Amino acid sequence: MRNKFLGTGEPGYRPLRKLAVVLAGLRYAVLHDFSVLYKAVLSVLVLGLALWLHAWVDAAIILLATGVVLAAELFNTAIEALCDFVETRHDEKIRIIKDIAAAATGIAILAWAVVLAAELSDLWARLGTA
């Protein structure tokens, strides 16, 4: 695909190629980063329960929270990899950058955990009355 800012690459829009790149990146993250894997698995399990109980709003909330936390994890991983690529030795500025990225991910994880716990509690109650 052509880069509109740099003027490089092939002209044209290829949505299937973009989707393939997205899926390749997600596959790599799931296979090589346990923190992404367990969040995806837990979310799919709770999401499956919500869909099975026809709790559409709950499913949408779980999907949104999962999307946010996975995006935060992927950004954090990319920032850490880029920092390690740029500077292999210990650097205080790099440490601060990594800490800030980790803090952002930590906030997203906390929100995801609260949403998942609340939704699981609600779904468990619905399962008991069904």
| pLDDT per position as a tens digit, 70-114 | 999 999 999 999 999 999 999 999 999 999 999 999 999 999 999
Amino acid identity at 107? I
Owner of token pair 């936390």: 69
User: What is the per-residue pLDDT across 51-62, written as a single tens digit (0 to 9) for each?
Assistant: 999 999 999 999
| pTM reported for the whole predicted model | 0.84
Dihedral-angle region of residue 46 (phi above 0 means left; psi in -120 to 50 means alpha; beta otherwise): alpha
The architecture CATH gives domain 33-129? Orthogonal Bundle (1.10)
How many Å apart are CA 46 and CA 14, to the nearest integer? 34
Mean pLDDT value across the chain: 91
State the angle between helix axes of 92-129 and 56-86 in degrees (0 to 180), rounded to the nearest 10. Answer: 160
- What sign results for the dihedral spanned by CA atoms 69, 40, 81, 78? negative
